[in-house]
Structure 1
Amino acid sequence: MTEYPTADVLVVGSGIAGCAAALAAARDGADVLVATKAERPEQTSSDWAQGGIATTRGDPESLKADILDASDGEADPEAVDVLVEDAADAVEDVLVDTLDVPFDEAGDGFDFAREAAHSEERILHVDASTGQHVLRPFLSFLDERDGVRIAEDTAALDLITDEGRVCGALLDRDPETGESSTTGVPAFAGSTVLATGGIGSLYRRSTNPAGATGDGVAMAALAGADVEDAEYVQFHPTAYDDADPFLLSEAVRGEGALLRNADGERFMPDYHEAAELAPRDVVARAVARERAATGEVTLDVSPLDFAGDFPDLAATCESRGVDWESGIPVAPCEHFLCGGVDVDSEGRASLDRLFAVGECARTGVHGANRLASTSLLEGLVWGLRAGEAATGRDPAVVEPPELLDRDPDLPAGFAEEKFHRLRRVMDEYVGLRRSESDLKRAQSVLRRLKGEVDAYVRTRTARDLYELRNAAVTGLLVARAAGENEQSAGCHYRAEEPVDAGH
């Protein structure tokens, strides 16, 4: 049989969850291959993370209570226990001792911030650009780590399976040489860890980087793995109101910024007792309602020293021509998938030798709505757990799937036109508010779209085609789950039910 790339552990994705998995596996003596379609670091969601990383500050029960409350009662208490019990050690070990992340300080200790739905100040941060200060040194550290190879600009097209187990993934480039392939390059591994990030590219406006097309969720589902809670798509309430949005961290509201409608009225106290610091789903729906009723919502940063407290955000505003002193126009924007590939406390999926971590995984921590600044923490904790659990298996080299080398060029504009259609459907029918009729329409359109894409899949390795396939599959999973769940909870809101400020 032809010699193919092999590794003890194959990690697909290079955000904080993938990096943590690679680190833990390498510490355990495994040979690790990280395949990522990102050209680092800006193309990973972790690098875009603003607010920070939640910690327990010696009180895990308090953090657990806030997570469960924000989840609208849908989080798995046992999964939350895993998160809060591992949080302090994981942050201290990796972010403080290993990477020496320069978290902001105040006096003799860290400058802990507070964000929406948190009962106390517990967020470690670096200004409002924490993600890049974590991910960039993490990737640099792994570059120098023995036993870890990182193949950038390398997409996983499909999982390789054999008799119910996952044996690796078919890649669009040779991870050793970087050369692209028209028939795919199989990479075999003892275990495969999916860490592919979110689904922002399914919507026209998202806080995710380009390329967040639900790859891990789709590949796992197509291979037969269980996917759960896909209906819980979180929309961040305060993204700049523009076709090209940027995120305004909840830390800004945590420091005192207020939301006002076009009439200048502060409206959040009418929707929730916590006002601007209510759970994200509540604030997002309130912002949407006020925009619809009055025409605009702005984030009033006059109560704080915006330029002094958030220099990176102030610089972004200035570079975009936004006069933040007059209020920053904001609107809800797709932000985070709370569900995904169903995994246990060590990241194991329902298929043998398959693991999933980070945003593409459904650990049970987030339930129906994610608490602010828990995504980096969840990715770190489950990445470390999965990386360690994934070791100890030899690569199983089987007969690989092979793409036909036939007409590698797609019809002109095919993927672009289909993506435009997919995003329109997701925005109109599977957005912040949903109804039974809209969800049925979405499923019908997405099924037809998937059928059109399937006519080309397996005949070429065009990355944009596979991203479109993955987006269509994931969109259909979201729409189906939303259609099956008739009860509003957290960020899944069924509009045919009576409007309620808490839902």
Structure 2
Amino acid sequence: MPETPPRDTADVLVVGSGIAGCAAALQAAREDADVRLITKAERPADASTDRAQGGISTARGDPEALKRDVLAASDGTADPDAVDVLVREADAAVEDVLLEALGIGFDEREDGAFDYAREAAHSERRILHVDAATGRHVLRPFLNHVDDHERIEVRQDTAALELITHEGRVHGVLTDEDPTGRPVYAGATVLATGGIGALYPRSTNPDGATGDGIAMAALAGADVADLEYVQFHPTAYAGEEPFLLSEALRGEGAVLRNADGDRFMDDYHPDAELAPRDVVARAVETEREETGEVVLDVRTLEGGFEEEFPGIAENCRDRGIDGDEIPVAPCEHFLCGGIDVDHYGRTSLEGLYAVGECARTGVHGANRLASTSLLEGLVWGLRAGEDAAENGAEPEALEAPTLRDGDPALPEQFAAEKFARLRRTMAERLGLERDPDGIARASAVLRRLKGEVDAYTRTRTSRELYELRNACVTALLIARAAGENPESRGCHHLVREDSPTADPEVIR
């Protein structure tokens, strides 16, 4: 017989506080589950959702049209059944949560109708937005709504370090609330830990996007998939401290020009600036290497840059960009793969779910369609929350492992130096373009790096160290997936080592 559960138990435990985690917590609570939501974030900006700019796609009453666009953007690699789930439930999920429960004030036209936007690879206007800062306007009221719910307890500044497992089932997590790990037990555990941007030197993600959920799940034995598909956004500010220049800018008419002043995207794809992200990102990088610079020209915006996109314009002015040509470069943005899940967010381990960017639902395949990340997090968060509440087991207070924390603190620059090495390797070998030899070299470097980090995690328990461990594990998984996939598709673009970058010979 199991022991009587201690005080720190929940029917459903959610790890992460972006749109996917909030949706899972809300839906589980609606099913009368006692929910605990823990997050290492201390403010909304620590979650990737808060940084989402363009908006959230809807089906706008035509799910088949959205499905065609999702599949086309994925280069035919997305799972059609998963896409069916997304497009079939899109409008109802947005209506239920964002409009009715949260009352999000999406932008409207003068006649009071929604001002739907269009972005790259979308065949029509179907994207709801608030200026170009949609994530902020969605997440903050969502966090307040969840925090006020009587069946949800939210604990910020609380990191999950390890999953508690027994005989193939997950029973909760160990958190960093105690130096040797404090157990939080749950009948079902939902990982919603976000992406992997911290593995790259330039990313649109927050600094805490270290692949925590993917690493914890993989170390516990959960299946992962499609990790080679790392998406780079084509238009991030090219200077220090990159920030996203929303795809909505190009959707409203902004164009890309090289250092010679030439608009070049027509040479790469018939949809020009509105081609799929992977195509635009590689074109931008090629033109930067050939001519020295690429700028996003916003003079062509019909309504004017300052008037149409005041938030982005303010970001530019704050960085001394006073003109209408903004230097841009590709930047790591989103992981299309992750922990392998079914249509309800269930992983291969009993009692464990994953939603949001850390999960691989099959919706994105080799390349994600713009403005589907918030939608996927919302739809799968709701489905996972409901299933976890209905089918989770009774929390069991099993004997949790005790982490060792007896050795002296880490050397002052240990984590920073190791992260710098990891990021350099990922950027050079596992970026926009890869080759088999480079992938193999990256794997060797990352294996050595993980071995060095493991030597410290055996005797020390700090959040910084576990984030570094998680980053190493996730980086190795990306390298392994890239090495096992010989087909160049979408975000996984292979070139022969001796081919010029400007005219790569793709390995098929």
User: Do these two structures clear the TM 0.5 threshold for a shared fold by scoring above it?
Assistant: yes
2:51 and 2:237 mapped to 1: Cα distance? 15
Partner of 1:176: none
- Cα RMSD (Å) of the superposition? 1.4
Q: Is the 8 A contact 1:158 1:171 kept in 2?
A: yes
Aligned to 1:207, which of 198, 204, 208? Answer: 204
Partner of 2:298: 301
The C-alpha deviation readout for 1:444-481, integer Å capped at 9, x for no partner, is 01111111111111422211100000000000000110
* 1:123 to 2:122 alignment: no
Equivalent position amino acid for 1:442 in 2: A
Following superposition, the deviation at residue 143 of structure 1 comes to 1.2
Partner of 1:108: 112
Partner of 1:266: 263
Partner of 2:149: 145
Following superposition, the deviation at residue 502 of structure 1 comes to 13
Partner of 2:468: 468
Following superposition, the deviation at residue 408 of structure 1 comes to 5.1
Q: Equivalent residue of 1:66, what SS? A: helix
Equivalent position amino acid for 2:90 in 1: A
Q: Is the 8 A contact 2:25 2:37 kept in 1?
A: yes
2:486 and 2:472 mapped to 1: Cα distance? 22
* 1:156 to 2:153 alignment: no
Partner of 1:6: 9
| Cα distance, 1:220–1:199 mapped onto 2, change above 3 Å | same
Q: Is the 8 A contact 1:21 1:383 kept in 2?
A: yes
2:41 and 2:148 mapped to 1: Cα distance? 19
The C-alpha deviation readout for 1:255-291, integer Å capped at 9, x for no partner, is 0000000000000000000000000000000000000
Q: Is the 8 A contact 1:282 1:501 kept in 2?
A: no
Equivalent position amino acid for 2:87 in 1: V
Q: Is the 8 A contact 1:229 1:481 kept in 2?
A: yes
Partner of 1:483: 483
Q: Equivalent residue of 1:333, what SS? A: strand
Aligned to 1:364, which of 362, 365, 387? Answer: 362
Aligned to 1:235, which of 232, 235, 257? Answer: 232
Aligned to 2:371, which of 364, 370, 373? Answer: 373
Alignment of 1:7-26 (within 5 A): 7-26=10-29
Q: Is the 8 A contact 2:495 2:507 kept in 1?
A: no
The C-alpha deviation readout for 1:127-151, integer Å capped at 9, x for no partner, is 0000010000000001110110111
2:446 and 2:406 mapped to 1: Cα distance? 26
Q: Equivalent residue of 1:461, what SS? A: coil
The C-alpha deviation readout for 1:364-423, integer Å capped at 9, x for no partner, is 000000000000000000000000000142112111010123025112211111000000
2:134 and 2:343 mapped to 1: Cα distance? 26
1:167 and 1:322 mapped to 2: Cα distance? 51
Following superposition, the deviation at residue 323 of structure 1 comes to 2.1
For structure 1, list consecutive stretches of 5 or more residues without a partner in the other structure: 174-180
Equivalent position amino acid for 1:234 in 2: Q
Aligned to 1:342, which of 336, 340, 343? Answer: 340
Number of residue-to-residue matches in the alignment: 495
Partner of 2:76: 73
Q: Is the 8 A contact 1:4 1:186 kept in 2?
A: no
Partner of 1:499: 504
Partner of 2:174: 170
Q: Is the 8 A contact 1:408 1:459 kept in 2?
A: no
Q: Is the 8 A contact 1:202 1:422 kept in 2?
A: yes
Partner of 2:313: 314
Equivalent position amino acid for 2:48 in 1: S
Q: Equivalent residue of 2:181, what SS? A: strand
Aligned to 2:288, which of 285, 291, 294? Answer: 291
Q: Equivalent residue of 2:158, what SS? A: coil
Q: Is the 8 A contact 1:408 1:462 kept in 2?
A: no
Q: Equivalent residue of 1:84, what SS? A: helix
1:317 and 1:108 mapped to 2: Cα distance? 30
Q: Is the 8 A contact 1:4 1:187 kept in 2?
A: no
Equivalent position amino acid for 2:30 in 1: R
Following superposition, the deviation at residue 240 of structure 1 comes to 0.1
Equivalent position amino acid for 1:97 in 2: E
Of the structure 1 ranges 60-69 and 411-420, higher mean CA displacement relative to structure 2 is found in 411-420
Q: Is the 8 A contact 1:314 1:324 kept in 2?
A: no
Equivalent position amino acid for 1:37 in 2: K
Q: Is the 8 A contact 2:54 2:132 kept in 1?
A: yes
Q: Equivalent residue of 2:489, what SS? A: coil
1:462 and 1:166 mapped to 2: Cα distance? 22
Following superposition, the deviation at residue 40 of structure 1 comes to 1.9
Aligned identity (percent) is: 68
Following superposition, the deviation at residue 500 of structure 1 comes to 7.2
Q: Is the 8 A contact 2:488 2:506 kept in 1?
A: no
Of the structure 1 ranges 259-268 and 490-499, higher mean CA displacement relative to structure 2 is found in 490-499
Partner of 1:332: 330
Q: If the length of structure 1 is used for normalisation, what is the TM-score? A: 0.97
1:74 and 1:482 mapped to 2: Cα distance? 16
Q: If the length of structure 2 is used for normalisation, what is the TM-score? A: 0.96
For structure 2, list consecutive stretches of 5 or more residues without a partner in the other structure: none
Q: Is the 8 A contact 1:75 1:364 kept in 2?
A: yes
Aligned to 1:41, which of 36, 41, 44? Answer: 44
